[in-house]
Chain A
């Protein structure tokens, strides 16, 4: 039976090479999380840019004329007849107070305050609502009604989202650069440590490309092993974050879900990392070898 032939240059036995898979694991893990941030922020920023919202809040300011019930009914009627609105629900006084409790505390002071009545309006998915037109219609028909226009803070959120997206993208680039620098360093060190073997290979007729192949195949293997472990850890972390976000009742949080195509992009991360490592090792080895006598 044919025995397995070991690598001609025993790079796997070097102390530095033994650490390399863990370095790759960490880099792929961090790069994947940054990439996930980019993808999530990109989707959210797009939605914010387009002004896509799924709910608005209508406020009825308190008036002393005892017309609140009538105004609420009138407002609900108008809202329910407006295209793009799926549902409209009046928040109970107790719900209003619950919203304020974190700031004002429990006590009689809340009962004494003239609180506005709030109507939670759910929009029909896929349809757009002209908030300005709705605001105008309601204001003409019902006294003391205002509609919170979320576009102002959506624009600010979109700007913030784009900035964070750029930062996360820069982090991915920095991590990739660090990976390239690490491979260059490890390859140069390997060439120095195994100088005797490399000279012997040259003396028996090996071309530089044959020697470089030893380094590039090692880098590919290490990159793949480290990358697969790193992506597995990153996927675990993202699933954990998503599951935690789903349990949170926080409507202001952006949608943290990742599209199916993005998961496919994640699967490419270890492969791309390993390819970058391989090409870097090859170019480095060929450049160093070309300077040898």
Chain B
């Protein structure tokens, strides 16, 4: 599903921020992406959610070479990817329902189905009473749940999450991790970038560790508690 071979990445004419990354992800894989701030986790996530093309090397996603894919092809590939952004990136002029509905509407889903599915999912993440509320009036945790609902509403084949539990209390964090694992069980590949090593240890899955733009060996942290 995802294959990186000697991938390097730079922003514009700046220095290379990722060096010689090589790894692959199969359907149904679950990976944490670990590393200190500035290690290149966000840059790697940008490559994975196709916001950037690699500066060198080969990135293949869904059997498509990203370096040479057309804009139209990239749009089709992005519809198979769900992303939970660290800064949420909700549209403040739209309601929670309309934010979550956006990927379905972009894909041309029928409006009656859109509303039904979105309302159901928002209820599941505990926001049934906030369907028509705009993000500005939601708390950080509520915004994060809206962002997560938007990422999973299309049942993506690849789910990418950047610090998805950062603003949530432990119980809700675990509940959402459970959601990711349920999606993973039905074949969704999941990559979660996080600083939270407690979370990683409590829900053990293999982890990719980035240090100064370079990838170390895949590790699985031992379970705790």
Contacts and interface: CB of A to CB of B under 8 A. Distances in A.
Contacts of B110: none
Contacts of A196: 89
B223 interface: no
Interface string B83-106: 100000101011100100111011
Nearest to B53: A293
Contacts of A13: 93
B91 A210 contact: no
A293 B51 CA distance: 8
Interface string A197-229: 101111111111010000000000000000000
Nearest to B72: A207
Interface string A2-14: 1101101010010
Nearest to A5: B98
A205 B93 contact: no
Given A5-B98, A197-B91, A204 B53 contact: no
B121 to A, nearest CB: 15
Contacts of A2: 111, 115
B91 A206 contact: no
Interface string A32-54: 00000000000000000000000
Contacts of A6: 93-94, 98
A67 interface: no
B106 A206 contact: yes
Centre residue among A5, A197, A201, A290 by max chain B CB count within 10 A: A5
A202 B106 CA distance: 9
B93 A10 contact: yes
A210 B106 contact: yes
B106 A3 contact: no
A277 to B, nearest CB: 23
Most buried by B among A199, A203, A205: A205
B201 interface: no
A208 B93 CA distance: 21
A205 B107 contact: yes
B111 to A, nearest CB: 8
B78 A204 contact: yes
Contacts of A293: 52-53
Nearest to A206: B106
A202 B53 contact: no
Given A10-B93, A197-B91, A203 B106 contact: no
Interface residues of A, number: 23
Given A5-B98, A6-B98, A199-B51, A204 B91 contact: no
Interface in B35-92: 49-53, 71-72, 75-76, 78-79, 81, 83, 89, 91
A200 B71 contact: no
B103 A205 contact: yes
Given A3-B132, A204-B102, A207-B75, A8 B94 contact: yes
A207 B70 CA distance: 11
B188 to A, nearest CB: 16
Contacts of B75: 202, 205-208
Given A3-B132, A6-B98, A203 B51 contact: yes
Interface string A178-207: 000000000000000000110111111111
Contacts of B111: 2
Given A6-B98, A8-B91, A10-B93, A204 B103 contact: yes
A200 B186 CA distance: 27
Given A8-B105, A207-B72, 20 more contacts: A2-B111, A2-B115, A3-B95, A5-B98, A5-B101, A6-B93, A6-B94, A196-B89, A201-B106, A203-B49, A203-B78, A203-B83, A204-B102, A205-B76, A205-B81, A205-B106, A205-B107, A207-B75, A208-B71, A293-B52
Interface of B: 49-53, 71-72, 75-76, 78-79, 81, 83, 89, 91, 93-95, 98, 101-103, 105-107, 111, 115, 132, 150
21 contacts: A2-B115, A3-B132, A5-B101, A6-B94, A8-B102, A8-B105, A13-B93, A199-B51, A200-B91, A202-B78, A203-B49, A203-B50, A203-B78, A204-B83, A205-B76, A205-B103, A205-B106, A207-B71, A208-B71, A208-B72, A208-B75
